[in-house]
Structure formats: structure tokens, C-alpha cells
Amino acid sequence: MDNITFDTLPKYVGEIIDRLDNIEQKLNETELPQQKEDELFSEFIPKSEVRGKFASSSTLWSWEKQGKLKSYGIGGKRFYKRADLENLIQPMNNKPIKERV
């Protein structure tokens, strides 16, 4: 590197900015596949997270047998699609509470 003077400083700053832009561009290119992978797997929820919070194991098993819910196996673990679980949620028919006299 040459001796930096006040006159040559803008040149060096410009080179540094160009190099940083190149580094940022390369980093962004390597992050895209990971983001796509994260988006793909965000669609699936492990059974361990669904069980007990959404339904019991026996209810999940029953829904699978009835064809209401489809499970997906990845690495010996069972997953459900988020959209399939959301489709099982239905509004309750709440009857109005009778007032006591």
C-alpha cells in the first residue's frame, strides 16, 4: 500500500467501499439457499410440537387414520403441514349462557 495522503484518501476509500460491496454481494448469494431451505421447512411442524398443544397423540393418530390429517416422515420423525393443521380448526357453536333468575 502506498503512503496515504489527504489527496489520495478518496481513492482508497472508494476502493474499500467497492471491496465491501463485493463481499456483501457474495454473502447475500450464499445466504439465499439457506433462506429457501428455512422457508421450505417452516411449512412443516414436528409432531413433538403439535402433540399436547394442538391435540393429543391419540387424536392425531385418529385424524391420520380417518384421512383428515396427512403426516410426513423425515429422518424417522413425523411432521405435519401447517396448512393442514390450520384447516382442522373450526369455529365452535357457542350457545348463549342463560341468565339465572
The pLDDT value recorded for residue 31 is 61
Pairwise CA distance, residues 12 & 92, whole Å: 68
Per-residue confidence band for 90, with pLDDT thresholds at 50, 70 and 90: confident
Pairwise CA distance, residues 79 & 59, whole Å: 15
pLDDT at 9 exceeding the cut of 70: yes
Q: At residue 32, what are phi and psi to the nearest 5 degrees? A: -60, -45
Tens-digit pLDDT profile for residues 12-56:
888 888 888 888 888 777 665 665 666 667 889 999 999 988 899
pLDDT at 93 exceeding the cut of 60: yes
